[in-house]
Every structure is written in C-alpha cells, then in structure tokens.
Amino acid sequence: MNIMNTLKIDNLNLTYKNGYNAINGISLEIKNGMFGLLGPNGAGKSSLMKTIVGLQKPTSGSITFNDINVVEDADYIKKNLGFLPQDFGVYPKVNAYDLLNHIAILKGINNKSERQKQIQYLLEKVNLWNFRDKEVHTFSGGMKQRFGVAQALLGDPKIIIVDEPTAGLDPEERNRFNTLLSDISSEVVVILSTHLVEDVKNLCSEMTVMNRGRILKTGKPKELIKELEGKIWSKSIANEDLEMYQSNLNVISQQLIERQLQITVVAPSQPEGFSPINPILEHVYFNVLSQNS
Ligand SMILES: Nc1ncnc2c1ncn2[C@@H]1O[C@H](COP(=O)(O)OP(=O)(O)OP(=O)(O)O)[C@@H](O)[C@H]1O
C-alpha cells in the first residue's frame, strides 16, 4: 500500500546563539517523491535539515511530519528517518553484511530474523548481495553510495535525507544511483540537499532554491524553466567589456568557450547583438540567486 507522507514547515526561524539568522521565515510542504533543496554553501541547508530531524530546536515556527509535531516531539520523525550522508568517513574493517547488521541493531531492529530478512532484501535491491562478504572500505565510490542507500533504508523509513548525493561518482555510477533513488521515492519523502543543479535536474520533481536562510523560489523544475522561455540571451564579448555588460544587463553566467568570453543574460526582450538560447535549470538557479544577492 502506498501511503502519502507529508512534511509541513511553517514560518520557521532559527537564530544561533551568536545572533546569526540561519533560517529566516521558511515555509514548505513536502510530500512523497524527490524534493531538491538547492543552494550555495552556507545557504542554511544543513541548519534546515538538522532542525527538520529534531537535532536542534527552531527559535520559532512549526514543523510537522504526518501531522505529528516534530519540534515538541522528535521521536516519531527520528524513528522514521533514513540519513544518507555525503561521506561516511572511515569504514571499520567489516564486511557489508555485518556492517548492515550492526547498523540495524543500532536502529532498534531487535528481532534477528527480521534483521536478516531486511538486510538480504536491501542488499539485493542495491545490487550488492553478491558482495556481502567484502569489506565496505574496498568498495568503489558507486558501491559505497549504494551501500549508503541500503543502510538508510533499514527500518523502513518514511523520510530520507540525502546530502550531496553524487559527489565523487563517475557518470555510470551516478546513473545507477539516481535510478535507485527515484525508485524508492514514490513511497517516501526524499529530500536531496545539494549545491549541484545537475542532481536536482536529473532527479527531482519538486525543488526549492534557498540562500541566506530564505526560500527564494519553489516549484517544478520543468515549470521554472518554462518561465524563462524567450528571456535567455547570450553573446561572445571582449574581456574588457564585461563590466559594462554587468552594469547594464542581468548577467547570470560567464563562460570561456574556446578562449572567448561568452555571457548569458536574462532580459524580457532581445538585447542588441545577443542570440536567443533555450533556458535550462542552471539559468533558473543563477537567475534566482542574482535577483536576491
Ligand atoms: N552552530 C552554529 N552557530 C552559529 N552559526 C552557525 C552554526 N551552524 C551553522 N552556522 C552558520 O549558519 C550558516 C548556514 O550554515 P549551514 O551549514 O546550514 O549551510 P549549508 O547550506 O548547509 O552550507 P554547506 O553546504 O556549506 O554545509 C553559515 O553561515 C554557518 O556559518
């Protein structure tokens, strides 16, 4: 049976003891599926994640998961959480099966046959059953990521938080990992925290851009791209003219292409000498950030 899970965040604020406002009036509603939380380093993504899972209390505002108040009682969300960190650091010299067994015990799956059943199911799901006797530190980057997914799924979580998922994966591993994540996400809330537009583009049906503790834009990637149709223009320019263009137009990116500087701008109509280009998600991201910097 497919049960819809809902995470509701309402007017959330978090001020650290030193007076820094890491979260400023954030409201979001997130349901089953892949949700991309996109923002540059320091945007407040980790602060938001930690607050969502009850590791720290907000200064004000509310968070509920399936209508249960997370701020007052974090037990429910913690019990139903899978966390996939960017990097597990150093792995103990233990094989994949035993390591999962150990994590399952930590997660409170006390029944031995239940543990065995889940571990076998998950190792098969992530294609690592044949490698169960190998020590995890000898795995490739992609295998480690898939192992990470298996441990995150132990205990049947309803919400999974993924931090910078594809860092260090080659394209093939990235594809496999992405497919695996999107398979899972029809039944759970998956929040993918990243500064890479690429990850959101490939995976997420909903996304939000955040910076300086604020939500700047939320929507479906496809629709956000559509909003920019007919508004993106590019031109090859001389290096010394860059400043002039920057002061006259909304320049959202600059790139060296075959030693020639090419700038991309957002404008309601075609600026002189510019050619139209089709919008992509990177344009959405840089446009949102440039409007709010
Ligand atoms: N305990 C703390 N006390 C004071 N300031 C903090 C604390 N934790 C984080 N910050 C500040 O809050 C801001 C947001 O940090 P946060 O780690 O949430 O961002 P992020 O988007 O996850 O960035 P990154 O991708 O670099 O981890 C940063 O400026 C950081 O220095």
pLDDT digits (tens, 9 = 90+) for 163-206: 876 666 778 777 777 888 888 888 899 999 998 898 898 889 99
Does the beta carbon of 39 lie inside 6 Å of ligand 1?
yes
Contact 81, 68 (CB under 8 A): no
Lowest mean pLDDT among 30-39, 89-98, 188-197, 199-208: 89-98
User: Among residues 225, 257, 285, which one ends one of the domains?
Assistant: 225
Note whether 139 and 267 are same-domain residues.
no
The better pLDDT of the pair 144, 23 is held by 23
Note whether 73 and 195 are same-domain residues.
yes
Note whether 153 and 205 are same-domain residues.
yes
pLDDT computed for residue 24 by the predictor: 97
pLDDT computed for residue 113 by the predictor: 95
Whether 146 is covered by a domain: the verdict is: yes
- Kindly report the average pLDDT of the chain as a whole number: 91
Containing structural domain, residue 246: 230-277
Note whether 139 and 253 are same-domain residues.
no
Whether 92 is covered by a domain: the verdict is: yes
Residue nearest to atom 3 of ligand 1 (CA): 16
Whether 289 is covered by a domain: the verdict is: no
Contact 83, 160 (CB under 8 A): yes
The better pLDDT of the pair 78, 265 is held by 265
Give me 113's structure tokens: 């046959």
CA 258 to ligand 1 center in whole angstroms:
37
Whether 120 is covered by a domain: the verdict is: yes
Indicate the top mutation candidate among 37, 45, 192 to test ligand 1's pocket, ranked by most ligand atoms within 8 A of CB: 45
Whether 89 is covered by a domain: the verdict is: yes
Does the beta carbon of 194 lie inside 6 Å of ligand 1?
no
Does the beta carbon of 43 lie inside 6 Å of ligand 1?
yes
Angle at alpha carbon of residue 170, lines to 167 and 175, rounded to 5° = 90
Can you tell me which atom of ligand 1 is nearest the CA of 43? Answer: 21
Whether 1 is covered by a domain: the verdict is: no
Note whether 28 and 103 are same-domain residues.
yes
> If you average pLDDT over residues 132-151, what whole number do you get?
89
The answer on pLDDT for 293 being more than 90 is no
CATH code for position 119: 3.40.50.300
User: Among residues 183, 201, 225, which one ends one of the domains?
Assistant: 225
The answer on pLDDT for 1 being more than 60 is no
Phi and psi at 232, nearest 5°, equal: -110, 130
The answer on pLDDT for 34 being more than 70 is yes
* Complex ipTM value: 0.93
**Model pTM?**
0.88
Note whether 268 and 180 are same-domain residues.
no
pLDDT computed for residue 57 by the predictor: 94
User: Among residues 204, 225, 246, which one ends one of the domains?
Assistant: 225
**What contacts 148, CB < 8 A, 6 or more positions away?**
84, 85, 88
pLDDT computed for residue 202 by the predictor: 80
Whether 288 is covered by a domain: the verdict is: no
Note whether 165 and 39 are same-domain residues.
yes
Indicate the top mutation candidate among 16, 191, 214 to test ligand 1's pocket, ranked by most ligand atoms within 8 A of CB: 16
CA 35 to ligand 1 center in whole angstroms:
21
Can you tell me which atom of ligand 1 is nearest the CA of 48? Answer: 18
Note whether 168 and 244 are same-domain residues.
no
What percent of the chain lies above the pLDDT cut of 90?
Answer: 68
Note whether 110 and 213 are same-domain residues.
yes
Note whether 133 and 247 are same-domain residues.
no
CA 69 to ligand 1 center in whole angstroms:
24
Note whether 180 and 200 are same-domain residues.
yes
Whether 293 is covered by a domain: the verdict is: no
Q: How many domains does the chain have?
A: 2
Note whether 144 and 273 are same-domain residues.
no
Does the beta carbon of 47 lie inside 6 Å of ligand 1?
yes
